[in-house]
Amino acid sequence: MAALAVGVGAACPARRPAADPTYTAEIERQRSQRLAELTSDTGWLTLVGIHWLKPGANRLGADPGNDIVLHGDGVPAFAGELESTADGTVMLRARPDAAATVGGEPVTTVTLRSDRQGTPVIVEIAGLRLNVIERGGSRALRVRDPRSPRRAGFKGIQYFPIDPRLRVQAVLERYDAPREVTVASAQGPAQRMLAPGLLRFRIGSTECSLEPFAESAETGSLFIVFSDETAGRETYGAGRFLDVDAPAPGTSTVILDFNLAYNPPCVFTPYATCPLPPARNVLPVAIEAGEKDSGDH
pLDDT digits 0-9 by tens, 74-127: 999 999 999 999 988 999 999 999 999 999 999 999 999 999 888 999 999 999
CA within 13 Å, CB half, 198 = 8
d(CA 267, CA 47): 12
Instruction: Give me the DSSP letters along 71-118.
Output: -STT--S--EEEEE-TTS-EEEEE-GGG--EETTEE-SEEE---TTSS
Given a cut of 50, whether residue 3 has pLDDT beyond it is no
Could you tell me which of 294, 116, 83 has the C-alpha nearest to residue 189? 116
Mean pLDDT to the nearest integer, 204-218: 90
Return the percentage of the chain with pLDDT > 90, whole number. Answer: 84
Lowest mean pLDDT, pick from 3-12, 252-261, 277-286: 3-12
Degrees to nearest 5, angle at CA 176 with 278 and 200? 50
pLDDT per residue as tens digits for the range 152-175? 999 999 999 999 999 999 999 999
Whether the pLDDT of residue 56 is over 50: the answer is yes
**DSSP helix/strand/coil, 38:** helix
Inter-residue contact 124 to 100 (CB < 8 Å): yes
3-class SS at 22?
Answer: helix
Helix (H, G, I), strand (E, B) or coil at 35: helix
CB 141 within 8 A of CB 50: yes
Mean pLDDT within 4-9: 38
Is pLDDT of 296 > 90? no
Contact 104, 126 (CB under 8 A): no
Q: Is the pLDDT of residue 131 over 80?
A: yes
Are 212 and 244 spatial neighbours (Cβ–Cβ below 8 Å)?
Answer: yes
pLDDT score of 60 more than 70: yes
pLDDT tier for residue 248 given thresholds of 50, 70 and 90:
confident
Domain architecture of the chain: domains with CATH: 44-145 (2.60.200.20), 156-281 (no CATH)
Alpha-helix residue ranges (DSSP H) falling in the chain: 21-39, 149-152
